[in-house]
Amino acid sequence: MSSSSPCAIALEAVIFDWAGTLVDFGSLAPTQIFVDAFKSFDIHITLEQARGPMGLSKWQHIQALLAEPAIARQWQQCNGHAPTDKDIDAIYSRFMPMQIAKVGEYSQGIAGVAATLCWLRSKGLKIGSCSGYPRQVLDVLLPLAAAEGIAPDHVIAGDELAAGGRPGPYMALANVLALKIGDVAACIKVDDTVPGIEEGIRAGMWSVGISLSGNEVGVTPEQLAQLTSEQIAGLRSRAEARLREAGAHYVIDSVADLPAVLALIETRLQAGQRP
């Protein structure tokens, strides 16, 4: 790609989230398991509550849920004390085997993802990824996704970095190091959650939000197909507003729509613009 500005750079990589972005339309696997894990402690949370901190690493996700006043009150009433780190550990220990057992049921690739990854590679772009899932869960998910043609060049799990996970920039930057990217502005971060968008912004990357296939809408393709165009438009608008507020430069329905946005970002880079 030729430069039209002395400050222009070319795109080098796209870094993707997993659930709700590459696989698991609606990001259902982690959400339902949080509900089930809390229920096993006689704490009742809704799917909407479970979705609230989505994008965080799972221990931090549980911590955030227990900090919610309504959930904290339930814990106090059931256990006679406010939630502690020991309690977070206990729920996490219950959550992990449940998530490992169930993640395969929600591992289906989102329509158009495999083709988009193939297209990105045809343009010479590297493909990174990161997730709030711990490595034990990804060890189950990754071979199933690879069988569908979804196999990034690098994967970082939510429990692998001493610095922590989202909304910090660490997992995105770990991809930059592993993929040997020369400039963070040459990267696009694609994510369906608010912490994931914040991660990309803090890493200095172009950040693209995912609305309809992701956590912010949180429905299956079958459920989406039953909705009217007006209902879908309302869900899309609400999701886009949340992701834009987090800093997303662009918001698309799914990864299948990424090529058009990539062209826009390339044009801005050629004009010397940066995220």
Separation of alpha carbons 98 and 102, rounded Å: 6
Separation of alpha carbons 220 and 201, rounded Å: 28
Separation of alpha carbons 66 and 92, rounded Å: 12
CATH number at 29-105? 1.10.150.240
76-85 burial: b if 16+ Cβ within 10 Å, else e: eeeeeeebee
Q: Where are the alpha helices (DSSP H) in 10-103?
A: 28-39, 47-51, 58-67, 69-79, 85-102
pLDDT for 106 equals: 86
Tell me which residues of the chain have a pLDDT lower than 50: 1-5
Match 């963070």 to its residue by tokens.
184
pLDDT for 54 equals: 84
pLDDT tens per residue, range 93-112: 999 999 898 899 888 999 99
Count of H-run helices and E-run strands, the chain? 12, 5
Cα dist. 275→16, 147, 223 in Å?
A: 17, 34, 35
Residue range(s) occupied by CATH 3.40.50.1000 in the chain: 13-28+108-270
Residue range(s) occupied by CATH 1.10.150.240 in the chain: 29-105
pLDDT for 186 equals: 97
pLDDT tens per residue, range 47-93: 889 988 888 889 999 999 999 999 999 999 999 999 999 999 999 99
> 13-28+108-270: which CATH architecture?
3-Layer(aba) Sandwich (3.40)
pTM for the full model?
Answer: 0.90
Q: Where are the beta strands (DSSP E) in the chain?
A: 13-16, 126-129, 187-191, 206-210, 250-252
Catalytic residues: 17, 58
Separation of alpha carbons 42 and 133, rounded Å: 24
